[in-house]
Amino acid sequence: MKIDLSGRIALVTGSTAGIGEATAKALAEAGADVVVNGRSAERVAETAKRLGVRGIAADVGTAEGVAALVEQLPDVDVLVNNAGIFAAQPVFEIPDDEWLRFYQVNVLSGVRLTRHYAPRMTGRGWGRVIFVSSESGIQTPGEMVHYGMTKTAQLALSRGMAQEVAGTGVTVNSVLPGPTLTEGVREFVASLYPDPDLDFAEAERKFMAEDRPTSLLGRLIRPEEVANLIAYVASDQASATTGGALRVDGGVLTSIIP
């Protein structure tokens, strides 16, 4: 199967590192005209140059940032809502402004962008909207409940929006990565095992065994492994896949279906 996205414009939010950057690279390799995005103009420019794609710096966690982005990029064929934040914090110590910050970045960014782009996709009879959720949307992590809450919200959003565009040639789906070796996760895992004599490979094994013991993969997922699924969902070959929550979690979830 050859995925060909030639002639398609794809926007990947939060794509200067990790899953977002790997996704931008995969979509570009499939022939899409890719636009990377992030808050830092310098990092966006560096990533765009490295991947040979376009870049738009904008903070999609704000209404003003989304407005600035869509003004520069009025239409896309593939929207990957990947921008997101996470942090560990005891649930009863999370203040209101932190709950709201997580909701603005992880949820409302995708709401605002999809609200703009999806109706335009339906007018053209083709489009793909993909929310990068998480297995945490199904199995709430005790150390970051506010993050899990936003990932569950994304699942409801993608299903509801898929129903709204039913029969138009536009699909809306979520993908559910498990623990993935991004820059942020590397720092998080390293912080759990601060022993200077412990190399990261051993810290990774300890983290998976102690914190994610249900993983069938037994290691952190690599960003390109998640990107491979996203590239498929963005393709013509995935035309019958919509309203779904698609797992790329390494078997962390023990349920048969999400």
233 contacts 130 by C-beta, under 8 angstroms: yes
Phi and psi (nearest 5°) for 146?
-65, -35
Q: How far apart are CA 119 and CA 122, in angstroms?
A: 5
Q: How far apart are CA 178 and CA 180, in angstroms?
A: 6
Q: How far apart are CA 232 and CA 238, in angstroms?
A: 6
Residue showing tokens 């896949």:
241
Catalytic residue among 117, 147, 193, 232: 147
Amino acid identity, position 202: E
Q: What's the N-to-C CA distance of the chain in angstroms?
A: 26
147 is annotated as an active-site residue: yes
Q: What is the DSSP letter of 237?
A: G
Q: What's the length of the chain?
A: 258
Q: What is the DSSP letter of 106?
A: I
Rg (CA), the chain: 18
CA 242 to chain centre: 17
Cα distances (angstroms) measured from residue 142 to each of 87, 118, 138, 252: 11, 34, 12, 15
Q: How far apart are CA 138 and CA 251, in angstroms?
A: 13
Q: Which residues are catalytic?
A: 147
